[in-house]
Chain A
């Protein structure tokens, strides 16, 4: 089934050729190729000062005193501010009722809870001097170290250290669950097993760090921030600093990636504008990479204590999961509490499985606050589910493909209601898995044959079948916002179209795809469409770009606005053609009466009447040709029902990944021999861009599966990383060439059948690599239960098995 796009947009528009669904080259490329794109670090204002933040070198300490005089005495330093100076700034909002109060101040005041926590800001004539001065402030700060909490085990020790004195323990969120059906299944099943699965701490790491530039002119504050959510930054700045929102303008310039880390509102987003107001000068802060590694949100730090009930035939009867997320100090807005609920909610992936009990816990530790990263809890969940399935297959002697086939969601089950309330509207779950199995088969054979003469190398294959919740509610993440977004379409007198979007761009080609949508929705050439976003003065209110939401919300809002523009344009054209509006068609960009190709009027003539020659308008019709659509995705729920279930995503893309690995037993070296993705995000707006999203997602998934790991010293809770030298960001040599194929199962609910595709690629690799390595080394007793899967973790597993099982 495919969607007839022109008809679904507007039956009154006839095109030579539509643009939706085509691999339209990106309009964003040329400026980047020529070095003319403008990122936050490229912006300067006359008289601009530079800010450096002073960050805690201690993981947990009281601040006894800060002597700022040596820093102030440095030539070129204009000011030093500490937490005490910002008393007039509100604390970060905390609007979710069921989480413990964190009370995050814009700068830490009397206590720091992680290495990297900002507690002072230095303003100087240039960045070098500002950093010199920041070092002096740090050297003249007196800390009283407190006992540290470096990991979950330490956090959950009853008599251990606590981060917040007024909490009873270190639980930021504590949501137990108790299902009688699960209990019953454990009583009845043939067997049970328990295991613990761990996903390590990592993060999005856009190549561009963060940055904020602010100035106030005539009581109006303009803030440039490298953010995925400029409107939410504006609302938060206005609320915290205490100025009316219309007096704040936030602009997100070109962005060097975000991957979720830039959805959060950080202390710097508030402190830098506050300094600009205080000093009456433009000020800028540019994050360096060390700051980025310790102060931009981390993610994925989860542990799952799992009990599984299963029968001899490989049927899984029930899963009980205690899902713990180590959210670091918790000092971040939005809080990092939602991801673990997504993990628990979508852990069953593309499988028909209901009998689950998930206890959700968010636990604070003396580490960098955690939050959003592409995938948002789903990679952690799929890792757990696929490990469970492989384990049951091994324990019962069931084929790993066969056991999955039995569990796959079927088309006749759509819409499928997951155990958590997620409503999977449609998909090609079983079909995608079959195709992935078919594609990977020859690669498995080739790899086995290739290493047949090398007894040191074992070959294995791994699979995963996931769903990707897209366009989620922001209410469960923020306790405040919902799920809509907006578009304003204006047709100017020359017939050119301006699209203003509430979403924003961080490298995913939104300008190109928005122009494809608008050009088809108004029957104009994409070259006549200009797209504006990421500027709260020039674009309508919106929630930004995250959660794979732009495809759906921008399709919906552009189509709504276009429909309104078309209605008015047809009324104007009808008046000019002395006909009824109902009889007006738009064919290849010209309005005419149905059944007659002449005379015609152009978009330019209609828009000129609307804006300029208003004497040509029908009597009583309001001038102007600009309409806004505010689109709330149908079916999206913002709060759980009385049963605790919620469909927190507007649509559900799906995919199957399969990968072949070779493992050298003597060294533990892993090589991904081949990787295939069968992907279904419904109607594709631009297949080229979607492939790019999948490639990048898979690479980040492989990074999590095999390389990246924020490690902390368990004794001191200090980071064991300070650069890319310790945090292994994959290069071209680590990411295998991959095969990507698509099915297009349109969403029955969302505009044009679009579903969204930003995160799917990241979901699969941890499950696939762990499954493949476990398969390769099954006869050596290796069962991968934690990521990253590294040569040393493999060697350790082999050694442990050799010791315990008497292996050679």
Chain B
């Protein structure tokens, strides 16, 4: 049997949603696959595997990153937050609640990525609708036309002046 290029392994220790875990994984394993398949948190979705669509966005040491274009070994020692951490007591966060009330999701596939992008920033830095639009432009959504997502964020953060019905 020929050995395959995935045979090299490494230990990855991270804190994920507050829990410390260590796994021995292939060195080439993507962080998105580590989170989904090894840890078993499937709320983080993979939409393009090219680092473009943002569906796989998670927070690593406070920064929103694309887990599909990051290797698991790169985040060894880090603290990771995923969508499952937002309402871990079963109570929706104000942003999640705003998404629900404003119909800011249809198929729901992109939702986790948007929520984690939003979770990673300070709302005080986004006081105009245009700033919200720019922030959200790193995440793709195919269902909503973005209108209700912008509306939900403006509502949750008290940003005024968003047009559109």
Q: Are B112 and A29 in contact (CB under 8 A)?
A: no
On whether the beta carbons of B146 and A735 are closer than 8 Å, the reply is yes
Tally B residues with Cβ within 8 Å of A: 66
- Residue from B42, B48, B49, B86 whose CB has the most chain A CB atoms within 10 Å: B48
> In the complex, are the beta carbons of A289 and B1 less than 8 A apart?
no
User: Cβ of A738: which chain B residues have Cβ within 8 Å of it?
Assistant: 145, 147, 164-165
The reply on A621 being an interface residue by CB < 8 A is no
Q: Does A94 contact B (CB under 8 A)?
A: no
Q: Give the one of A32, A37, A42, A129 with max B CB within 10 A.
A: A32
List A658-698 residues whose CB lies under 8 Å from chain B: 688-689, 691-692, 695-698
Contact yes or no, A256 B108, CB < 8 A: yes
Question: Which 9 residue pairs of A and B lie closest in terms of their CB atoms, listed nearest first?
Answer: A35-B43, A507-B107, A32-B108, A256-B109, A699-B145, A737-B164, A695-B145, A35-B83, A737-B163
Answer whether A129 and B6 are a contact pair too, CB < 8 Å, given A731-B140, A741-B165.
Answer: yes
User: Quick check: is A1 within 8 A (CB to CB) of the other chain?
Assistant: no
Contact A128 to B143, CB < 8 A, known contacts A723-B48, A737-B162:
no
Question: Assuming the A-B contacts A208-B107, A735-B147, are A75 and B7 also in contact, with contact meaning beta carbons closer than 8 angstroms in the complex?
Answer: yes
* A25: Cβ under 8 A from any B Cβ: yes
| Chain B residues positioned under 8 Å from A129 (CB to CB) | 4, 6
Partner of A696, one of B84, B133, B145: B145
Q: How far is the CB of A7 from chain B (nearest CB, A)?
A: 29
Q: Quick check: A724 and B140 within 8 Å, CB to CB?
A: yes
Task: Check if A128 sits within 8 Å of B28, measured CB to CB.
Answer: yes
Q: List 21 A-B contacts (CB under 8 A).
A: A25-B100, A38-B42, A39-B42, A39-B109, A74-B1, A132-B6, A208-B47, A257-B109, A289-B48, A507-B106, A507-B143, A691-B148, A692-B148, A699-B144, A731-B140, A732-B133, A732-B149, A735-B145, A735-B146, A738-B164, A761-B145
- Cβ–Cβ < 8 Å partners of A700 in chain B: 142, 145
Contact A725 B45 (CB under 8 A): no
The one of B5, B107, B136 that contacts A732, using a Cβ cutoff of 8 Å: B136
Q: Which residue of B lies closest to A255 (CB)?
A: B107
Give, as a whole number of angstroms, the nearest-CB distance from A47 to chain B. Answer: 15
Q: Which of B8-47 contact A (CB under 8 A)?
A: 26, 28-29, 36-37, 41-47
A254 to B133, CA, bound (A): 28
Nearest B-chain residue to A126, judged by Cβ? B6
Interface mask (A724-764 → B, CB under 8 Å = 1, otherwise 0): 11000101110101111100000000000000000001000
Taking CB atoms, residues of chain A closer than 8 Å to B111 are: 32-33
Q: Can you name the residue of chain A whose Cβ is closest to the Cβ of B164? A: A737
Nearest chain A residue, comparing its CB with the CB of B7: A75
- Choose, from B50-58, B59-67, B72-80, B118-126, the stretch at the interface: B50-58
Given contacts A289-B47, A723-B52, A735-B145, contact A28 B7 (CB under 8 A): no
A696 to B76 alpha-carbon distance, docked (Å): 39
User: Contacts A29-B108, A30-B92 known; A259 to B142 CB distance under 8 Å?
Assistant: yes
Residues of A within 8 A of B105 (CB): 29, 32-33
* Chain A interface residue count, Cβ-Cβ cutoff 8 angstroms: 67
Which of B26, B108, B139, B162: most chain A Cβ within 10 A? Answer: B108
Q: CA–CA, A724 to B41, complex, Å?
A: 26
Instruction: Other than A30-B92, A696-B145, give 7 A-B pairs with Cβ distance below 8 A.
Output: A32-B105, A39-B109, A126-B6, A209-B47, A729-B140, A733-B137, A741-B165
- Please give me the residue from chain A that is nearest to B43 by CB atom: A35
Chain A residues positioned under 8 Å from B99 (CB to CB)? 29, 33
- In angstroms, Cα B37 to Cα A629, docked, is 42
A26 contacts across to B, CB distance below 8 A: 100, 103
Given A29-B105, A692-B144, A207–B47 Cβ distance below 8 Å? yes
Q: Is A75 within 8 A of B3, CB to CB?
A: yes
Closest to A136 in B: B2
Interface residues of A in 125-160 (CB under 8 A from B): 126, 128-129, 132
Name the contact of A39 in the complex, choosing from B5, B45, B50, B150 (C-beta under 8 A).
B45
Q: Which of A254, A256, A289, A735 is within 8 Å of B49, CB to CB?
A: A289
The contact string, 1 if C-beta is below 8 Å from chain B, for chain A 36-72, is: 1111011010000000000000000000000000100
- B112 x A35 contact (CB < 8 A): yes
- Is A297 part of the contact surface with B, judged by Cβ < 8 Å? no
Complex CA–CA separation, A528 to B106 (angstroms)? 23
In contact, A739 and B165 (Cβ under 8 angstroms): yes
Given the known interface contacts A35-B43, A75-B1, A507-B143, the answer about A691 and B6 at a Cβ–Cβ threshold of 8 Å is no
Give the complex CA separation of A509 and B86 in angstroms: 23
Q: Which of B92, B103, B134, B165 makes the CB contact (< 8 A) with A33?
A: B92
Q: Please, how many angstroms separate the alpha-carbon atoms of A692 and B112 in the complex?
A: 19
Chain B residues, CB < 8 A from A39:
42, 45, 109
Known: A724-B48, A735-B146. A692 touches B6 (CB 8 A): no
Query: Which of A32, A256, A695, A741 is B147 in contact with, Cβ under 8 Å?
Result: A695
- Is there contact, CB below 8 Å, between A76 and B4? yes
Inter-chain contact B165/A696, CB cutoff 8 Å: no
Q: Which residue of A lies closest to B87 (CB)?
A: A34
Residues of chain A with a CB closer than 8 A to B83's CB? 33-35
B108 near A75 with CB under 8 A, answer: no
**A256, B107: Cβ atoms closer than 8 Å:** yes
Closest to A132 in B: B4
Indicate whether A506 reaches chain B with its CB closer than 8 angstroms.
yes
Contact with A254, one of B84, B108, B148 (Cβ below 8 angstroms):
B108
Does A445 touch B at the CB level, under 8 Å? Answer: no
Q: Does B115 sit within 8 A of A, measured CB to CB?
A: yes
A98 to B118, CA, bound (A): 53
Chain A, range 143-185, C-beta contacts under 8 Å to B: none
Q: Which of B53, B82, B136, B146 contacts A207 (CB under 8 A)? A: B53
Determine which of B2, B43, B137, B164 lies in contact with A34 in the assembled complex, contact meaning CB atoms within 8 Å.
Answer: B43
Is the Cβ of A73 less than 8 Å from the Cβ of B44?
Answer: no
**A479 interfacial by beta-carbon distance below 8 Å:** no
Chain A positions within 8 Å of B150 at CB level = 732, 737
Which A residues touch B1, using CB under 8 A? 73-75
